[in-house]
Structure 1
Amino acid sequence: MIRFENVSKIYDGHGHQNLVLNNLNFTIGPRDRLGICGSNGAGKSTLIRMIAGVDNPTSGRVIRNMTTSWPLGYASAFQSSLTGADNCRFIARIYGKDIAKLTKFVEDFCELGPYFRQPVHTYSSGMGARFSFGISLAIEFDCYLIDEVTATGDERFRKKIEAVMDERKSKGALVMVSHVPQTLRAHCDKGAVLFNGALQFFDTIDEAIDVHNYYQRTVKSDRAVVDIHH
């Protein structure tokens, strides 16, 4: 179980404070498959990082009683000066996994070729995302966090990821952020919409997508009215 209790996140910048998450209270259960919708800049990635423990709340607390992956596709989770292979060895030691077995899984899964033995900072964004997915899927977590599957490159590789995720989500929890409704529908049953710092939950992912689309239309309509008056 992961529980948010009165969690808020404020960023300071350009002389003003930006309230990204406003007093969130919710629980993620051990078999939940939650899809989170929200516009660019709504705070979805901030929320995912906070669930993972990569970022801390300004106020409130996050209680974790199950293991969580770092955000899959989040290459910053690794030491950029080390090679992909060295990062695998480092992660294997931290999690008490067989080094050779984990390294082989990641190398085969990522399909990076000789770049696997190059420093991570030389990777393109797509290569970094592939590496992040590979090393995350090499470890069995209680809850997997996915921030935009679409960053990984070609359709064949996305299907490769989804095949592994189908197997993993049957055993644990999944929290996914994506701009692609079909991806959310394929992997999530429950949904939530992040809008103006608030997180609204729905019993089905379709309801969440419909509400998100409504908010998007409303915002565009309001902007059009402002443009007309200017």
Structure 2
Amino acid sequence: MIELRNLTKSFPTRWGRKYVLKDVNLTFPAGMSVALMGRNGAGKSTLLQIIAGNMNPDSGQMITRGSLSFPVGFAGSFHRDLSGAQNTRFIARIYGIDTKELTDFVQEFTALGRNFYLPVRGYSSGMKARLAFGVSMGIQFDTYLVDEVTSVGDRAFRTRSAEVFKDRMAHSGAVVVTHSIPEMRNLCQAGVVLENGHARFYDDIEEALDVHIRTMDNSK
């Protein structure tokens, strides 16, 4: 469960401060996959980074119960001079899980081949995203934070990603950022629509999508 209390976040611009979140009060229920929706610049990735602890709000509180993943697809935590395998083993030790088990899962899932044993600094952005997704899915979290990663790779990899994600959702929840409406329908049960610094939770994904689509149409 993730609870936001009077959460505010703004950024300075030449026209004054831009509020992407303003006194937001919101609860993400445990065990539910929730899509974050909104036009470009509405604050989806900002909110995800605040939930992950990678960005501080201006004010307000965030209360979490249970374990949170690092943002799935975020490769910033990888050491660029270590190989994918070495990074995987390092993360396994941090989270106290079986090193070989996680390494075997990630190697098979990512299909990076020999690149898995080469330094991450030589990886493309897509390869890094696949590695980050594999490492995250190989660890059981109560809530997964996902930012666009299911769009990475070819159709076979995207299908495999969706299958693994759904398998994890049998025992966990998620907060998902994606611009793909079919992915929202496929991966999520509920939605949060962000607009003008405000956020509203909908416990039905179709209702959330209806509001999101109307909001996008009105912004054109």
For the aligned pair, the TM-score class normalised by the smaller chain equals over 0.9
Structure 1 gaps, min length 5: 221-230
The whole-number CA distance in structure 1 between the counterparts of 2:174 and 2:182 is 16
Task: Tell me how many residue pairs correspond in the alignment.
Answer: 220
In the alignment, is the contact (CA less than 8 A) between 2:26 and 2:200 conserved in 1? no
Provide the C-alpha distance between the structure 1 equivalents of 2:22 and 2:117, rounded to a whole number of angstroms: 43
- Would you say the 8 A contact 1:125–1:151 is kept in 2? no
What letter is aligned with 2:49? R
The amino acid that maps onto 1:153 is G
User: What is the CA-CA distance between 1:64 and the residue it aligns to?
Assistant: 1.5
Would the alpha carbon gap of residues 159 and 209 (structure 1) be closer, same or farther in structure 2, given more than 3 Å must change? same
Match of 1:80 in 2: 80
Per-residue Cα deviation, 1:25-48 (whole angstroms, up to 9, x for no partner): 111222222111111221111111
Contact 2:34 2:176 in 1 (8 A): yes
In structure 2, do the counterparts of structure 1 residues 16 and 83 end up closer, same or farther at CA, with 3 Å as the change threshold? farther
Provide TM-score, normalisation by structure 2.
0.94
One-letter code aligned to 2:36: I
Superposed structure 1 runs of 4+ greater than 6 Å apart: none
| TM-score normalised over the length of structure 1 | 0.90
Q: What is the letter of the counterpart of residue 129 of structure 2?
A: A
Larger mean Cα displacement after TM superposition, 152-161 or 75-84: 75-84
Query: Does 2:171 match 1:171?
Result: yes
- CA RMSD between the two structures: 1.5
Q: Which residue of 2 aligns with 1:47?
A: 47
Higher share in helix: 1
Unaligned 5+ segments in structure 2 are: none
Query: Separation in 2 of the partners of 1:80 and 1:28?
Result: 34
Contact 1:24–1:198 under 8 Å retained in 2: yes
Counterpart check, 1:68 vs 2:68:
yes
**Equivalent position of 1:204 in the other structure:** 204
Deviations 1:182-230 (A, max 9, x none): 111112111111111111121311111111111111111xxxxxxxxxx
Instruction: Measure the CA separation in 2 of the matches of 1:118 and 1:194.
Output: 40
| Structure-2 residue corresponding to 1:89 | 89
Which secondary structure does the structure 2 equivalent of 1:81 belong to?
coil
Cα 1:121–1:15, aligned 2, differ >3 Å: closer, same or farther? farther
